[in-house]
Structure 1
């Protein structure tokens, strides 16, 4: 069991994490960023359990992702095969996160967003745009912009493809792929690498 995680979570969270790790047997691997997920839980061929978490997350995102994946593990142990993000997982996740929902661990300004999210946790925190932004301190990575920050009609690059920002549709933006002229929906908290006015 790697203790590297201690550099990735808030200091006051470490004793709770150590308890969860000693209570539930799994290997934790910190891995390079994956585009499609922040973490995962799986049973290896030899029967052991493994949790992976991306190394590019800040300590608040990392902690939430780690507990999310531990909740999958605990749900699997208690209930066997159930819906991955069904009512059993939601209940376990809410229970496991309770000790962490404190101003000693999460900044006060994040707690209302976390409280609202945990009334009915979703499969991905990115699905909750307000929480996702709060966890990032409402700032994009250096050199990047949030899609909601760029003007209507701007051209931007996402995954080496040029798009044009269109109208907002409830919580997402319609954006046209300039290569195939198809319109795609982007979450409002997507970070884009570059843009210019169209």
Structure 2
């Protein structure tokens, strides 16, 4: 039995997660950070199922990502091929998250935002700026800053391209790509490197 995952999630969540692993038969791999995703679900060529989760996530992000991916697996088992984040997945994800919506698992500052997010979950928790920031404990990765911490008019690097931070719109920031001179909108929880 693979118990490596236990150090990555809140202690009180372990029995629920172990139940899901035992019930749904998949291999869980904890992998190095990927830039484009926190987790992944796939059917392997031999017919078995694998879920991967990035090892750089804190325990609250890790747990949410793991349950998100388990929901993909359960959706696949129940419905076959459907929209990846469609109504079937949303209903299963909401159902699977219920036992974890508890103050012994998620802190009280995360719970209301998580409950709100779960009313209509998106493909990525990063799409919900407030939840994303509270899950990251309002701390950017080492050597990076959140876009809202970059002063207007200052330059930063995102995916090897230099941008100039512009004005804030309602919820996002206008940023000028210095390479192609186009303006892009950045969510306030995007992590960038200061220059």
TM-score w.r.t. length of structure 1:
0.95
- Contact 1:31–1:53 under 8 Å retained in 2: yes
Partners of 2:52 and 2:2 in 1: CA distance: 11
Where in structure 1 do 4 or more consecutive aligned residues deviate above 4 Å? Answer: none
What residue in structure 1 maps to residue 98 of structure 2? 98
- 1:123-149 per-residue CA deviation (whole Å, 9 max, x = no partner) reads 100000000001011122233211012
Partners of 2:193 and 2:12 in 1: CA distance: 34
Question: Given the alignment of the two structures, is residue 50 of structure 1 paired with residue 50 of structure 2, yes or no?
Answer: yes
SS class of match (2:52): strand
Partners of 1:63 and 1:53 in 2: CA distance: 9
Unaligned runs of 5+ in 1: none
What's the CA shift for 1:73? Answer: 0.3
SS class of match (2:41): strand
- Contact 1:2–1:29 under 8 Å retained in 2: no
- Contact 2:42–2:49 under 8 Å retained in 1: yes
What's the CA shift for 1:117? Answer: 0.2
What's the CA shift for 1:180? Answer: 2.1
SS class of match (2:37): coil
SS class of match (1:193): strand
What's the CA shift for 1:185? Answer: 1.9
SS class of match (1:122): coil
Unaligned runs of 5+ in 2: none
What residue in structure 1 maps to residue 21 of structure 2? 21
SS class of match (2:73): helix
- Contact 1:154–1:164 under 8 Å retained in 2: yes
Number of positions where the alignment pairs a residue of Structure 1 with one of Structure 2: 195
Partners of 1:170 and 1:25 in 2: CA distance: 44
Range 177-186 or range 70-79, more displaced: 177-186
What residue in structure 2 maps to residue 161 of structure 1? 161
Partners of 1:170 and 1:69 in 2: CA distance: 31
- Contact 1:13–1:100 under 8 Å retained in 2: yes
What's the CA shift for 1:59? Answer: 0.5
Q: Provide the alpha-carbon RMSD of the alignment.
A: 1.1
